[in-house]
Each structure stands twice: as structure tokens, then as C-alpha cells.
């Protein structure tokens, strides 16, 4: 297991008049009734989650479920009401103002759905801005910014102004600007939600391509389960401020812990997400033919469905189970 880069323990964020006092009066764990009766808004409730180094953790949930608030607590853009937040081994809530500035300047990158580019600065100047703040000299920061502009697919557009770019291109500038300081941890709050479907898919592909070379630790917010599936190593589903379930897409689909989670996963293509070994039965003596256990069912569905009998499931040269056409059809159409 790799190291946790960001670690949240029992984090609460209540909006209202005196949330610290209110939490203390309820032993730190008020129930919903008490919270509502006292007029507090429970944006985040008792959230515990580790973001592992190099992983993409996606936060999902309906609008108002607390995703942005949790990420703002993780980056201390807002102060949590209670709980522990470790950032890169450091107690973030105890960090001084000066330490926080340092952490933000060097270790955190942030992208929001509607973040402001500087309209009177060129693409190059926008991307180079965080380096300017760091005090990097002009030649060095421009050289770095040019590299980033290439990296985010805007080669040759350094001298453009934001108004001369499409929405998707502007978002690329924002992404580039957030990468300029080479952050360890990258927070992205619905960065593609305002883009239309086609551009959005393209941006997701680009994002994955970037991540395959950059290997950042990422917290990515979306309300779209398809986007979550494409990008996430793990998905945390939030509901009314609570992390309802945390797991891989496959785990959430095969084993939803609540109707709320099941509702999100209902319309996804199970064949593309479930692997053969998730559906298989124990090895069977009369199996003929074989399939790889690690591949997605979709890639071998034709073979399995056209086999009259049982197939061996093999991983790394060893028989690990068996599978039949019936098991596949059942699993794939279970959701209906």
C-alpha cells in the first residue's frame, strides 16, 4: 500500500452561528434531527478518507451533497469545523498562515468549473502567473510556461488572449496554470462540467494522458458517474455530507451499499466494467476452452456467449475459476 498523501479523519463542516460549540454540546457526533433543529447546514459529516499517493480519487454525489466543501477543507480554502486533515504528513489545520501559503504555492494545484483566467493577460502570462508569484524570473517562467502550453495541447497559442479561445481551450489554460508550480496534489472541482459532451470526452482523454506522465495525487469532483468511471481509481459517493460508500467502480456496481449508490450505477454498461473474475464460479472439471480472468467481460462476451458449455477462467497460466454464458447474461442484465 502506498502512502496517504491527504488523509481526512472524522472531518465535519457545519455552516451556522457557532458550529464548534454545537458539535461539542453533542459529543462531536450530532444526529440529523439535532442539526436541523438547531438550524445548521451539515455540508460535511464525519468524513474519513485517505487519498493515496498517485491515485485519482473521484468525489461523486448529487448537487449539494458536500463534494466542494470537503475538497475546500482538504485544501483549507475553508476551515473544517472538526476532524483531522493531514496533507503530505503535515497537520494542515494546525499550519500557520505562512506555512499554508507555502503549501499552496508549491504543493497544491486547483482547478474549478468557473475559474477566472486573467482577461488582459495572454495564455503564456496566465500559465506563468503562479511562477511569477513564486518569484521565478521572467526567462525561466516563460520557458516553463511554454512547456506546459505544449503539454496541455495549446502549442502555438501562447500569445492569444482568453477571449480568443474556445471554452475547452480556456479550460486547458486553467489546467496548465494549475500545473505550473508542479503541485504534488491536484484538486479539480467539476473542471469539465460546463463543457459539451464531445469536448468533455476529449478533455477526459487528455487528462488521463497527462496523468499517465505526471502521476499526481488527484481529487477530482464530478456529478457524472460515467466521468467518474473513466477517470477514477476509487470513487467516494457523497450524500447529504456523508461519504456513503468508497470503492472502485466495479465494487460500487457489484455491491452498492445503498439505493442511492445503486441509482448512480444503474445505467452504466456493466460488461465494460466488470471483469471476468468478478463473475466466475469455482473451477469446474468439465470446462472446455478458456478466457482470461482479468479482462473486461465485454471483450470476451462473444466467446463466452457462443460457448455451449463451461469455460475455464485462467490468470497468469493458472485456472482460477469457471464461467458460463448463463452467468454472464444474468450478471449483465441484473440491473434490469
Ligand X SMILES: Nc1ncnc2c1ncn2[C@@H]1O[C@H](COP(=O)(O)OP(=O)(O)O)[C@@H](O)[C@H]1O
Angle CA 234–169–222, to nearest 5: 25
Q: Is the dihedral of CA 293, 299, 305, 309 positive or negative?
A: negative
Binder of Mg ion out of 13, 47, 55, 68 (CB under 5 A): 68
CA-CA-CA-CA dihedral for 22, 24, 29, 33, to nearest 10: -30
Q: Mention every residue, 6+ apart, whose C-beta is less than 8 A from residue 193.
A: 113, 222, 223, 224
7 versus 68: smaller Cβ distance to Mg ion = 68
Asked if 126 is part of the footprint of Mg ion (rule: CB under 5 A), the reply reads: no
Shortest CB 186 distance to Mg ion, Å: 17
Q: Which does 66 bind (CB under 5 to 8 A by kind): Mg ion, ligand X, none?
A: ligand X
Shortest CB 190 distance to Mg ion, Å: 6
49 versus 332: smaller Cβ distance to Mg ion = 49
Among 100, 51, 52, CA closest to 76: 100
Q: Which does 63 bind (CB under 5 to 8 A by kind): ligand X, Mg ion, none?
A: ligand X
Shortest CB 111 distance to Mg ion, Å: 13
Q: How far apart are CA 65 and CA 59, in angstroms?
A: 10
Asked if 322 is part of the footprint of Mg ion (rule: CB under 5 A), the reply reads: no
84 within 8 A of 9, measured Cβ to Cβ: yes
193 versus 248: smaller Cβ distance to ligand X = 193
192 versus 296: smaller Cβ distance to Mg ion = 192
Chain mean position to CA 48: 15
Shortest CB 231 distance to ligand X, Å: 17
Shortest CB 178 distance to ligand X, Å: 18
Among 277, 278, 281, CA closest to 291: 277
Residues that bind ligand X (CB under 6 A): 15, 41, 43, 61, 63-69
161 versus 260: smaller Cβ distance to Mg ion = 260
Binding site for Mg ion (CB under 5 A): 68
Amino acid at each position: 500500500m502506498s502512502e496517504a498523501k491527504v488523509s481526512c479523519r472524522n472531518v465535519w463542516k457545519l455552516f451556522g452561528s457557532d458550529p464548534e460549540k454545537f458539535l461539542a454540546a453533542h459529543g462531536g457526533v450530532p444526529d440529523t434531527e439535532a442539526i436541523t433543529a438547531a438550524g445548521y447546514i451539515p455540508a460535511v459529516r464525519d468524513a474519513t478518507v485517505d487519498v493515496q499517493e498517485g491515485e485519482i480519487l473521484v468525489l461523486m454525489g448529487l448537487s449539494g451533497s458536500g463534494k466542494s466543501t470537503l475538497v475546500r477543507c482538504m485544501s483549507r480554502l475553508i476551515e473544517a469545523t472538526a476532524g483531522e486533515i493531514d496533507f503530505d504528513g503535515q497537520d494542515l489545520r494546525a499550519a500557520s498562515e505562512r506555512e499554508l501559503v507555502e503549501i499552496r504555492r508549491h504543493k497544491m494545484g486547483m482547478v474549478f468549473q468557473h475559474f477566472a483566467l486573467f482577461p488582459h493577460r495572454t495564455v503564456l502570462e496566465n500559465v506563468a502567473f503562479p511562477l511569477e508569484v513564486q518569484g521565478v524570473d521572467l526567462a525561466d517562467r516563460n520557458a516553463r510556461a511554454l512547456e506546459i502550453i505544449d503539454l496541455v495541447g495549446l502549442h502555438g497559442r501562447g500569445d492569444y488572449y482568453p477571449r480568443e479561445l474556445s471554452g475547452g481551450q480556456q479550460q486547458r489554460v486553467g489546467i496548465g496554470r494549475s500545473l505550473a508550480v508542479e503541485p504534488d496534489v491536484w484538486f479539480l472541482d467539476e473542471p469539465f462540467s460546463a463543457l459539451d459532451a464531445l469536448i468533455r470526452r476529449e478533455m477526459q482523454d487528455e487528462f488521463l494522458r497527462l496523468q499517465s506522465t505526471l502521476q499526481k495525487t488527484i481529487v477530482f469532483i464530478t456529478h457524472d458517474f460515467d466521468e467518474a468511471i473513466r477517470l477514477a481509481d476509487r470513487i467516494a459517493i457523497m450524500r447529504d455530507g456523508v461519504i456513503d460508500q468508497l470503492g472502485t467502480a466495479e465494487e460500487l456496481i457489484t455491491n452498492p451499499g445503498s439505493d442511492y449508490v445503486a441509482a448512480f450505477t444503474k445505467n452504466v454498461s456493466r460488461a465494460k466494467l466488470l471483469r471476468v473474475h468478478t463473475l466466475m464460479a469455482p473451477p469446474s472439471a468439465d470446462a472446455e476452452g478458456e478466457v482470461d480472468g482479468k479482462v473486461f467481460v465485454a471483450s470476451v462476451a462473444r466467446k463466452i456467449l457462443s460457448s455451449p458449455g463451461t469455460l475455464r477462467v485462467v490468470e497468469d497460466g493458472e485456472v482460477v475459476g469457471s464461467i458460463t454464458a448463463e452467468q454472464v447474461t444474468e450478471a449483465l442484465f441484473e440491473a434490469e
